[in-house]
Chains A and B, each alone.
Chain A
């Protein structure tokens, strides 16, 4: 793993225009552009993102109280994190451990075996570097820990905490959105009549506020007053409340999120699919490629760079999911659909600002870890695989 998170966007040869300094005035003007153009963005981000982030870091190590005419901060060290991970909030954040069936352990063993094999492969390769090795070990430990947590809390008698629930929403939602977006994109590249109509319709959900979608799906899932009520009744599930059961409530949140964000994947993937050159496809046709081969060898390699970028965007955005579960289920039943941002928000409302900041930091660490693993391991592998 490289230290620099380069190649977030597909690398581009440095396109530096040589400034032709005929007159000193012009070169001065050009030189000023170099800094003036980027300065506002850097300043805004420094003041409104980096500075608050550092303040939050400090907050997460302290107890924060609003007092008359201001606020009061007492440094308490790691106590907030301790409480969240090992103390009274552990069950809320990490969940309750249940019994794990043998198959679960076998799966976990296979997963860890694969991780260690990849690590071994790296350690014996020529690319080996000290930093890269350390980062890979950290990644394996981290991924192994998260997988173990999921395994322990999802077994019989266990209850997943907000961390695992968030990860379920993120990975479940993003995977569904990508597959649906790609599928719809492929269907529309056939240039069937009515294409523009479908394109406009498919875009709509993205424009709707998540708060509104929360309400919308509350209506949709209502078994008595909702539009699908006859279907529920016919199935003998008239008094079944989809939002009242942990699994179905989670499913409802994922469906709502997918409904909203599939358009984003779809519209970008469609542009990528339509950008594939006709000549390549025709050449493959001449060579007698069938539909499946066409997809595997022509289309897929061509859309992978775009795919990895949209997946990364959605991955980053998904970790912040709050409005949908907040409105749709209020985090319930119990804490079955409560995400980490929702929990942090509740913490803020009850005045636990320090704890809320610590929770936000835990989320940030997990999100950053997932994004880094995606960029450095998965994305790079995919890009190399296609070339």
Chain B
């Protein structure tokens, strides 16, 4: 089904013994670089303050006695919902937003890889102008529903009259680039208006609000990965389905999506990771009930000095599920992200 085989091919270079030794040394070195901080994280979570403050101790049972003090402190003494609530929030918001981003992103990617669009530059500029005008109206004190109606009316009017005169138009890659360029926006640039908007719609401090924000933020990534993946699927398969009388939706659901499982899994995982770990937007848009784990971890940058043992427990808890998921789905990640791999 794919233009290229991603099954590991045997390398015709038979590495010499010396070369193999060098390779292993380098690989083991990087494995050490990766694992050392993680190992340290886990052992620190079983330390008591004295074990940390009296200089480094490395091996549990050998140079220090592992204790569950930090775990007990956070999970029992701090109250039952201290960890459970942000944990559940993170799981719920992460999974939901990743799911929506995947569904909406897959639909858009498929459309971008199979249809040709020619949006007119003039209409887009008119639209942007009308939005700016509407924002101006709201800023001038006109209630937002009225301003939105006026804005839409002016746009329809201009599009109907001037719209026919525009000729310059854009193509699919422009739409894709436009979607993807949204990833360039620093969250601080968009979070303030989103904050005000959510305030108007009572979405602040709700799961729904955070899910919407994350879906929007991660959608460009999903489109980026999936568009390249769909393009790697030969069109012939669809054509024969069309001859058999299938329609677009049937083709998408019965042929394309089943063929794209590695791409979908990889994209889902990456988008999930981004939502799981997101900090800035959560900081602005959540409150006590909807706090997510990154906020809880960051909040430990406390006034009482760095409490490594507690922080370690929280980070271990936070990364455990996603790391386990990644280990099991690793094979899909390698096969599922084909960015830039398809050649024209």
CB <8 Å contact, A308 and B340: yes
Closest Cβ of chain B to A62, distance in Å, is 7
CB <8 Å contact, A209 and B293: yes
Q: Which of B5, B37, B294 contacts A275 (CB 8 A)?
A: B5
Q: Does A89 contact B (CB under 8 A)?
A: no
Q: Does B167 contact A (CB under 8 A)?
A: no
Of all chain B residues, the one with the shortest Cβ separation from A317 is: B183
Q: Does A106 contact B (CB under 8 A)?
A: no
Q: How far is the CA of A189 from the CA of B36 in the complex (A)?
A: 24
Contact with B along A58-93 (1 / 0, CB 8 A): 110010100000010101000000000000000000
Contact with A along B266-308 (1 / 0, CB 8 A): 0000000100110110001000000001100110110000101
A267 and B188 in contact (CB under 8 A), knowing A6-B171, A10-B344, A33-B111? Answer: no
Closest Cβ of chain B to A340, distance in Å, is 8
CB <8 Å contact, B40 and A37: no
Q: Does A54 contact B (CB under 8 A)?
A: yes
Q: How far is the CA of A190 from the CA of B23 in the complex (A)?
A: 9
CB <8 Å contact, B128 and A54: yes
CB <8 Å contact, A211 and B248: no
A218 and B306 in contact (CB under 8 A), knowing A38-B107, A225-B55, A227-B40? Answer: yes
Q: Does B261 contact A (CB under 8 A)?
A: no
Q: Does B132 contact A (CB under 8 A)?
A: yes
- In A351-377, which residues have CB < 8 Å from any B CB? 353, 356-357, 359-361, 363-364, 367-368, 371
Q: Does A234 contact B (CB under 8 A)?
A: no
- In B304-328, which residues have CB < 8 Å from any A CB? 306, 308, 311, 315, 318-319, 322-323, 326-327
Q: Does B116 contact A (CB under 8 A)?
A: yes
Q: Which residues of A contact B330 (CB under 8 A)?
A: 199-200, 203
Closest Cβ of chain A to B265, distance in Å, is 13
Q: Does B76 contact A (CB under 8 A)?
A: no
CB <8 Å contact, A310 and B23: no
CB <8 Å contact, B343 and A206: no
Main secondary structure of the interface of A (DSSP, over half): helix
Partner-binding segment picked from A97-105, A114-122, A168-176, A318-326: A318-326
The count of residues in chain A whose C-beta lies closer than 8 Å to any C-beta of chain B is: 133
CB <8 Å contact, B243 and A20: yes
Of all chain B residues, the one with the shortest Cβ separation from A339 is: B186
Q: How far is the CA of A30 from the CA of B114 in the complex (A)?
A: 12
Closest Cβ of chain A to B12, distance in Å, is 5
Q: Which residues of B contact A192 (CB under 8 A)?
A: 15, 20, 23-24, 27
Q: How far is the CA of A34 from the CA of B297 in the complex (A)?
A: 44
Closest Cβ of chain A to B263, distance in Å, is 12
Q: Which residues of B contact A198 (CB under 8 A)?
A: 27, 31
Q: Does A333 contact B (CB under 8 A)?
A: no
CB <8 Å contact, A322 and B280: yes
Contact with B along A186-221 (1 / 0, CB 8 A): 011111101100111111111111111001111110
Partner-binding segment picked from B67-75, B79-87, B153-161, B221-229: B221-229
A interface residue numbers (CB < 8 A to B): 4-17, 19-20, 22, 26, 29-30, 33-34, 36-38, 40-42, 44-45, 47-59, 62, 64, 71, 73, 75, 180, 183-184, 187-192, 194-195, 198-212, 215-220, 224-227, 229-230, 259, 267-268, 270-272, 274-278, 281-282, 285, 291, 294, 305-310, 313, 316-317, 319-320, 322-323, 326-327, 340-341, 344-345, 348, 353, 356-357, 359-361, 363-364, 367-368, 371
Other A-B contacts than A51-B131, A209-B277, 7 sampled, CB-CB below 8 A, are: A15-B231, A19-B242, A33-B115, A45-B182, A71-B196, A199-B334, A278-B10
The 10 listed contacts between A and B (C-beta, < 8 Å) are A9-B176, A29-B249, A33-B252, A37-B108, A41-B105, A52-B189, A207-B319, A219-B40, A320-B186, A323-B280
